[in-house]
Amino acid sequence: MSDFLQGLLTALPRLLQEGLQATLISFVGGAVVMVVVAVLLGLAEHQGPAWLRGIARFVVEFFRGTSLVVQLFFLFYVIPTLTGVDLGSTWTAILALGLNYGAYGAEVVRGSLNAVPRGQWETATALSMPWFTQMRRVIWPQAWALMLPGFNNLMVMLVKGTAVVSLVLMADLTFEADQLRRRVGTWPAFIAALLIYYVIALLVSLVMRWMERRAQRRLGLGDFEIRKARQEADQVMAGAAAGDAEPVAAGKEGET
């Protein structure tokens, strides 16, 4: 046991020095790309003309349907020979993570826009607000509060997703832990890495929860909407889109 502890105490500072940076860069970069992709595709899916909706739908299903690792390798091995542009490890990782999780995020954005009651659109139109003002002042703030629980889950997924970036030669936590394995032993090396991942995921989740509460307070949303959004958020990675799971939530409403 003391061997284990000693190994852990050797591994932790090493990992914080060596691997953490690459993991954080992939996470932050991936998160920015993810949110941009999610908002653009989600808006296109919900608001665009039919042809744009079709394209957005195709892109979303494509990135959700093919595996993250395949996309990563495609960007890393195929794109350079195809286009002559070599993205390099870091950008390959950021783009692959952002596009993959962004496609899931698009469903969150679309579902949340869907969940804003029609009357809100109609009222805004009746006040003859232009589209952009309607979106910015009326629809988006409400949809935003509904999409945050989904984004919370996606952000945690993204933290875990960064563990694949060593496959494109980034020296992240997973890679460094694997290197440390021979020196400090299997269990201490990997448990140290797991602990760091866990703390990052917890912190990310904490910040997202805080944003959720703030957005909800500003709107005065009721318990029911929040609970429904949370419930659907748990299914984000498992295919179901937010806003589509109404029957289940309606059943719950009847009960309370």
Q: Which residues bind other proteins (CB under 8 A)?
A: 61-62, 64-71, 73-74, 77-78, 81-82, 156, 159-164, 167, 173-174, 177-178, 181, 186-187, 190-191, 193-194, 197-198, 201-202, 205, 231, 234-235, 237-240, 244-245, 247-248, 251-252, 255
* Cβ proximity to other proteins, 135 vs 167, nearer residue: 167
* Cβ proximity to other proteins, 112 vs 166, nearer residue: 166
| Cβ 98 to other proteins shortest distance, Å | 17
User: Under 8 Å CB-to-CB from 116, ≥6 apart: which residues?
Assistant: 139, 142, 143, 146
| Cβ 182 to other proteins shortest distance, Å | 10
* Cβ proximity to other proteins, 62 vs 210, nearer residue: 62
* Cβ proximity to other proteins, 67 vs 125, nearer residue: 67
| Cβ 247 to other proteins shortest distance, Å | 3
